[in-house]
Amino acid sequence: MNKIHLDNTHVPLHYQIAEYLEVMLKRGDLLPDDQVPPEEELADVFSVSRTTIRRSMEHLHGRGLLTRKQGKGTFWTEEARTIKREKLAGINKLIFNVSEKTTVRVLSKGVDEGNREVRDFLRAAEDDKFIVFRRVRYAGGEPMSYTINYLPMHYGGPIEKKHLEKMTMLETLEKVLNIRLGTIEHEVEILRATALISEQLRVPVLDPVLTIKTSVFDKDGDPVEIVWTYFVENKYKFRVVLE
């Protein structure tokens, strides 16, 4: 885990750390099947004392999200496994029409193994890796959204940064790769900004961000890409058309 700096002076530090760990669990950065990182590692990540980390663990334990196993360490509970499902899900073919004039900056095109959710959705083999695009959309010169796209190598490889500066990813898939798109599913929820999202959207860590996970399939029902987009709440204006 990379270093994380929390600076909300209105909320006790151990509460902020507990909430940040819960955010990572919701995002899939921490998995409910895994052991919680040891106290000394978390103390180093958050640059705090082990006493502060211990209080964070006690807070999560009191909420029923952690359990301690003698001689083995601390683990997420069955209740923690249900957190990720507490969201508005299954909104099919949802069309967002951003009303403000926007510009896009493609931050990077890279190769990544993806987390378990990415690998499961894209039906990855053991050694598969994915093309990952990261972009920031600006409205009036200020960041409005931060998007991360995961695509199989054979789809993502031919796509260049210049395509995404002029077209959406869906337009690129259709016009550049000639993919016949099928179902597009969206899951919408409010999450807290991680350190990376905070940096890209210029909002405080743990500020609420409107989060949309998009799952894209082709006409045959095969997965094409999985996307996470994080919006600055007060800058997101949209029209929704439901079919």
131 and 193 in a single domain? The answer is yes
> Do 70 and 92 have their domain in common?
no
Whole-angstrom distance, CA of residue 159 vs CA of residue 155? 7
Q: Which whole number is the average pLDDT over 171-189? A: 90
CA 101-104-106 angle, 5° bins: 175
Quote the DSSP letter at residue 30. Answer: S
- Residue 103 sits in the same domain as residue 78: no
Query: Which residues have C-beta within 8 Å of that of residue 227, sequence separation ≥ 6?
Result: 147, 148, 149, 150, 169, 213, 214, 215, 216
**Confidence category of residue 200, pLDDT binned at 50, 70, 90:** very high
pLDDT score recorded for residue 162: 92
> H or E segment at 54?
helix 50-62
* Statement: residue 87 has pLDDT above 80: no
Check whether residue 167 and residue 226 sit in a common domain.
yes
Residue 2 CB burial class (10 angstroms; 0-12, 13-18, ≥19): exposed
Long-range contacts of 62-66 (CB under 8 A, 24+ apart): 65/22, 66/36
pLDDT > 70? residue 238: no
Domain with residue 185: its CATH number is 3.40.1410.10
The parent domain of residue 187 ranges over: 88-241
Write down which residue in 53, 84, 115 finishes a domain: 84
Q: How confident is the model at residue 230 (pLDDT cuts 50, 70, 90)?
A: very high
Q: Which two tokens stand for residue 240?
A: 């929704």
Work out the average pLDDT over 160-180: 91
Residue 3 lies in a domain: no
238 versus 39: the higher-pLDDT residue is 39
Q: Which of 84, 119, 143 is the last residue of a domain?
A: 84
pTM score: 0.67
pLDDT band of 98, cuts 50, 70, 90:
very low
Asked if the structure places residue 1 within a domain, the reply is: no
- Total domains, the chain: 2
Residue 169: predicted pLDDT: 92
C-alpha–C-alpha distance, residues 6 and 13, integer Å: 8
Rounded to a whole number of angstroms, the CA Rg of the chain reads: 19
pLDDT in tens, 111-163: 999 999 999 999 999 999 999 999 999 887 889 899 999 999 999 999 999 99
Instruction: Say what the pLDDT of residue 91 is.
Output: 35
Share of the chain above pLDDT 70, in %: 88
Same structural domain for residues 96 and 145? Answer: yes
In this structure, what CATH number is given to the domain that contains residue 46? 1.10.10.10
